[in-house]
Structure 1
Amino acid sequence: MKLRPEGPIVIAAGGTGGHLFPGQALAQELRRRGRKIVLMTDERVQHFDKLFPGADIFSVPSATPTNRGVAGLFRAAPAIISGIGQAFGILGRVEPSVVIGFGGYPTLPPVAGALLRGIPTCVHEQNAVLGRVNRLVAPYVQAIASTFAAPRFLKPRDASRLVLTGNPVRDAVIAEAGAPYVAPGPTDRIHLLVFGGSQGARVLSDVVPAALAQLPEALRARVDVVQQARPEDLARVRDAYDRAGIRATLESFFDDMPKRIAAAHLVIGRSGASTVSELCVIGRPSILVPLPHSLDNDQKANAEKVEAAGAGWMVEQKDFTEAALAARLAALLADSGMLARAARAALGQGQPNAVRKLADLVEKLGRGEFHAIQAVTESEDDIQSPGPLLFAQGGC
């Protein structure tokens, strides 16, 4: 297909917030540059118009294999094949300059359709582990943008096309970047934020209220909690905090989460890529509980990077008990210096310029100016290193 440098840019994203939020951030940056955005996603398209205002939105079928065996792939194949056919037709009408996929099975049909049409195509990997769809298409795309310098499962044959951009964060996160962190004094209120990613996490509703109830009364009386809980858990979580005498603000969804992060002294949550990136850009310490059944343990790999940098503490879900969390919180909340050091370490790993670097890459691809053999070297020279330890291993 002939290059169309000024054509629309297609963003393929869907599924969880970890895939959607970087796509949203890129769309915001590209719109500032005057670019037209097209979103291609799955059947949940009706929820995305507010995240991508002004974009043309197309829904194409896809499916995630229900297990890792041949049977799961066989059941998912018809929807994926149908989606590729539909994406191929849509891309022919849209005539984009570039297609970029953000991982997950909803992005497979648009990316495959773009490759079949010869449209410049790249993918972005948010996690420390190269996702299954990105792994599948990696040999065929022109560039692999990455949050981490050496994502697990990246094959040597594909390494020349890896570009270290960082993980883009939304404008609302950038607005809070580097917000001053003031650790709580001996008599100050303690602001605790608890959330489990875009879909919530039941284990946090089970463990956190009970753990806080075990804190010494004088410490417990100073705690203010903001917690995201699944709708079906709200009533029992509210009751648990009421019985413990803890002030709590509870919702199933917060549309101002970056401000909530900035206001927190400590965050307890999952370790999805967007969560980790936002914590680092804003600069807040965290206790991270990786989703235990995530494919390829990507959340555990993310949390390990945070802990290695001194920016937070990883607790595997099997060890995330009421007693263990209560002991950890008592120690952390009694040592404001420890929290302050972790906040500084988190901020040191933030990559607030990631969205600009990714937008630059996308536009270079559209103009035919990207040279894969120099990708890693050029990107590393361009990034302002946020800290030697985590950056050497991949960065937040």
Structure 2
Amino acid sequence: MSDRPILLAAGGTGGHLFPASSLAQELQRRGYAVELATDMRAEKYGGDFPARAIHRIPSATLTSPSPIAVAATFSRLGIGYAGALRMLLRLRPQAVIGFGGYPTLPPIIAARTLRIPTAIHEQNAVMGRANRLLARFVDQIALSFMPTKLLAPEAQARARLTGIPVRDAVLKFRDVPYAAPDPTSRLLLLVFGGSQGARFFSEALPPALERLPDEMRERLTIVQQAREEDLAALREAYARGKIAAHLAPFFRDLPERIATAQLVIARAGASTVAELTAIGRPCLLVPLPHALDNDQLENATRLQEVGGGWCVRQSELSTERLAELLQGLLSSPERLADAAKKAHGMATVDAVKRLADLVDELVKSKE
């Protein structure tokens, strides 16, 4: 193993860190040392990240077009760039691979300054803002969907389809068969929404589930991710509806819970879609309505087009419609089994190998 690592750079959310974690595992199997550059948000998702070291780089996200906000953001990114330069001069990485989010800007641009090979990976069906900025600088661009919206024409020649790499913890459930519900079995419904999406599900699901027929409600067990501040009210709502529920703010064993579910309700982040298709489970996807560039809507639409799930806009999901959808799906094992099969077939199971091959090529090109 070379002492010079591959540096992965990722924003500090699960959507960026999970595919980076998958690549880290594969690179280590190939004999590379791996280190991670991220931001402070990674404490929740990256505590067990498979890296030799984790570096926190000062960063900021552009959230307002006001001159003051723009100036503050670029000032913070400038501080991050200076810190990234010092880090790269010390580490001398063989390559720097970005996974999106503004924290990737300082390490990638610093690597470009030092002529270190670079690549970015785009998880969504729409090119993210940070990756759009970086696409003009990097040597290679890895895509999860073809075509990917908002990828500049001049960057197409450096782009290739790899798919979304998923963690070993997900792939271990790849061959677990889907168990469609029968008329007497428990109905296991899994619900998760990420930090930005969980509140809507906490408010929308209890009244919708109360509208289900008594016989269906008695068979139902719901496993749901909810914000800490919503747990007490949600627990009380399910108790009133006599619905068995297991609630938590975060599930570290989420892949196993996906594998045991008969239906999943979730947002449509790229990593969510990748894990649902890798395991092969039917899903009702409700894209985050305020997601930048409607990337979640694009992700969910691609899955719906192949028949692997159902996409419904949040603005169209009244209590009555949600109840109707759930009753129809949970009483149709054939539809659920067919969606599970089609979702399973959509997965790019060798995505992590393709992405690691790209890293190998970058390293060899420098040599």
Fold in common (TM above 0.5):
yes
Structure 2: runs of 5 or more not aligned: none
Counterpart code for 1:89: R
User: Match for 2:327 among 326, 330, 343?
Assistant: 330
2:154 paired with 1:151: no
Q: Are the equivalent residues in 2 in contact too, given 1:10–1:100 (CA < 8 A)?
A: yes
Counterpart code for 2:340: A
Quote the offset at 1:149 in angstroms: 1.4
Q: Which has the higher contact order (CA 8 A, sep 6+)?
A: 1
User: Match for 1:224 among 221, 225, 248?
Assistant: 221
Find the counterpart in structure 2 of residue 277 from structure 1.
Answer: 274
Counterpart code for 1:67: S
Distance across 1 between alignment mates of 2:166 and 2:318: 31
Find the counterpart in structure 2 of residue 377 from structure 1.
Answer: none
User: Match for 1:362 among 352, 359, 362?
Assistant: 359
CA shift digits 1:322-370 (9 cap, x unpaired): 1110000111111111111110110010112111111111111011089
Find the counterpart in structure 1 of residue 130 from structure 2.
Answer: 133
Greater mean alpha carbon deviation, residues 44-53 or residues 102-111: 44-53
Find the counterpart in structure 2 of residue 179 from structure 1.
Answer: 176
Q: List 4+ stretches of structure 1 deviating above 6 A.
A: none
Q: Are the equivalent residues in 1 in contact too, given 2:289–2:313 (CA < 8 A)?
A: yes
Q: Superposed, which structure 2 residues align to 1:10-29 within 5 Å?
A: 10-29=7-26
Counterpart code for 2:61: T
Q: Superposed, which structure 2 residues align to 1:168-247 within 5 Å?
A: 168-197=165-194, 200-247=197-244
Find the counterpart in structure 1 of residue 83 from structure 2.
Answer: 86
Quote the offset at 1:94 in angstroms: 0.5
Q: Secondary structure at the match of 2:165?
A: coil
User: Match for 1:291 among 288, 300, 320?
Assistant: 288
Query: Structure 1 pair 198/170, CA: closer, same or farther in 2 (3 Å)?
Result: farther
Distance across 2 between alignment mates of 1:68 and 1:259: 42
CA shift digits 1:56-104 (9 cap, x unpaired): 1211110001224544322201110010111011101101110000011
Quote the offset at 1:105 in angstroms: 0.5
Query: Structure 1 pair 300/68, CA: closer, same or farther in 2 (3 Å)?
Result: farther
Report percent identity of matched pairs.
50
Q: Secondary structure at the match of 1:201?
A: helix
Q: Secondary structure at the match of 1:330?
A: helix
2:61 paired with 1:64: yes
2:41 paired with 1:52: no
Distance across 2 between alignment mates of 1:310 and 1:190: 21
Provide the TM-score with structure 1 as the length reference.
0.89
Counterpart code for 1:78: S
Query: Structure 1 pair 312/70, CA: closer, same or farther in 2 (3 Å)?
Result: farther
Q: Secondary structure at the match of 2:75?
A: helix
Q: Are the equivalent residues in 2 in contact too, given 1:148–1:164 (CA < 8 A)?
A: yes
Distance across 2 between alignment mates of 1:137 and 1:208: 40
Distance across 1 between alignment mates of 2:194 and 2:124: 14
Quote the offset at 1:189 in angstroms: 0.8
